[in-house]
């Protein structure tokens, strides 16, 4: 049973470009969470999605960031017009149920560098 | 807002010693979870302790939870060099039950061989 997959593992973008980060949850999991980790810090929640629905986006910046989890295919976190401050590690996690009562399974992360 | 705050921020011990990390949180919780992160990698779930539990064991790990003090501790016994990693506590956001986890800043553990 493959774990949570994320790609790319490393992504370099110039300021102003778009970044697309992909996440395939574990088989059988329909709940996906995105977190961002700045250097030497803990993870910060960004968004929680179920298939075709955004459930909680309270951690998403109001502009330039969007997320989706279509019926078919991976979840995508999109960052438009990237700035240097977007440089961070972005982690996706999945769980079989959408409550805080269960562990989350994390992917290896995508490390975004904005030059 | 930070749900979990951990101390110490960094801990360095010799192989074979025990390591204790502490986590304090602010609001009432349903459960508290501990994760490990090796350098440059994703997080691995270690243990989940529910609010009605006081202590839980998993191999060399022992977690305690004191809801009256809003604190938890993670004890790693007989540490190994492979335990070198960052350890994070996390708890579900207080006012929602959507699985949104709030993480502490983490404790960086170095185990010297």
pLDDT digits over A55-101, tens only?
Answer: 999 999 999 999 999 999 999 999 999 999 999 999 999 998 776 67
From residue B26, give the alpha-carbon distance in Å to each of A33, B69, B101: 22, 10, 13
Whether the pLDDT of residue B103 is over 60: the answer is yes
On whether the CB atoms of residues A4 and A22 are closer than 8 A, the answer is no
Whether the pLDDT of residue B5 is over 70: the answer is yes
Sign of CA dihedral B1, A104, B21, B29: positive
CB of A104 within 8 Å of a chain B CB? The answer is yes
Beta strands in A1-114 (DSSP E): 5-7, 10-13, 19-24, 31-37, 43-50, 53-56, 65-68, 75-79, 88-95, 105-106, 110-114
Contact (CB<8Å) B105/A31? no
Nearest to B25 by CA among B65, B76, B85: B65
Whether the pLDDT of residue B56 is over 80: the answer is yes
For the segment B31-53, the average pLDDT, to the nearest whole number, is 93
CB of A63 within 8 Å of a chain B CB? The answer is no
For the segment B12-26, the average pLDDT, to the nearest whole number, is 95
CB neighbours of residue B31 within 10 Å? 19
Contact (CB<8Å) A56/B44? no
Distance, CA of B96 to CA of A95 (rounded, Å): 16
Distance, CA of B24 to CA of B111 (rounded, Å): 24
Rg (CA), chain A: 13
Q: Rounded mean pLDDT of chain A?
A: 93
Q: What are the two backbone dihedrals, phi and then psi, of residue A19, each rounded to the nearest 5 degrees?
A: -120, 135
pLDDT at A97: 77
Burial A37-59 (b: 16+ CB within 10 A, else e): beeeebbebbbbbeeeeebbbeb
pLDDT at B1: 45
For the segment A44-64, the average pLDDT, to the nearest whole number, is 93
Contact (CB<8Å) B45/A95? no
Strand partners, B91: B102
Q: Which residues of chain A does B98 touch, with a Cβ-Cβ cutoff of 8 Å? A: 48, 55-56, 98-100
Whether the pLDDT of residue A102 is over 50: the answer is yes
Distance, CA of B31 to CA of A37 (rounded, Å): 22
Percent of chain B with pLDDT over 70: 92
Nearest to B90 by CA among B112, B107, B75, B78: B107
Percent of chain B with pLDDT over 90: 72
| Residue with more model confidence, A24 or A38 | A24
Whether the pLDDT of residue A2 is over 80: the answer is no
Which of A37, A95, A97, A100 is the best mutation test for B, with the most CBs of B within 10 A? A100
Ranges A76-80, B43-47, B65-69, B102-106: which has the least confidence: B102-106
pLDDT at B94: 64
Exposed / middle / buried, residue B43 (Cβ in 10 Å: 0-12, 13-18, 19+): buried
Whether the pLDDT of residue B96 is over 90: the answer is no
Contact (CB<8Å) A102/B30? no
Nearest to B32 by CA among B88, B105, B86, B95: B88
């Amino acid at each position: 049973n493959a774990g949570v997959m994320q790609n790319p593992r490393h992504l370099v973008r110039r300021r102003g470009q778009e970044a697309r980060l992909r996440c395939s949850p574990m088989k059988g999991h329909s709940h996906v969470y995105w977190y961002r980790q700045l250097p030497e810090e803990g993870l910060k929640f960004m968004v929680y999605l179920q298939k075709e629905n955004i459930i909680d986006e309270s951690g998403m910046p109001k502009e330039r960031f969007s997320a989706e989890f279509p019926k078919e295919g991976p979840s995508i976190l999109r960052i438009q017009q990237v700035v240097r401050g977007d440089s961070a590690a972005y982690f996706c996690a999945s769980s079989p149920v959408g409550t805080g009562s269960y562990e989350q399974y994390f992917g290896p992360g995508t490390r975004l560098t904005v030059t | 807002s930070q749900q979990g705050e951990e101390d110490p921020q960094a801990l360095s011990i010799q192989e074979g010693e025990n390591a204790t990390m502490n986590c304090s949180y602010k609001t009432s919780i349903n459960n508290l979870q501990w994760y490990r992160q090796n350098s440059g990698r994703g997080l691995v779930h270690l243990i989940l302790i529910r609010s009605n539990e006081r202590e839980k064991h998993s191999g060399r790990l022992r977690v305690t939870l004191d809801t009256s003090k809003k604190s938890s501790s993670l004890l790693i016994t007989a540490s190994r060099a492979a335990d070198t990693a960052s350890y994070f506590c996390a708890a579900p956001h207080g006012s929602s039950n959507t699985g949104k986890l709030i993480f502490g800043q983490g404790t960086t553990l170095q185990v010297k061989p």
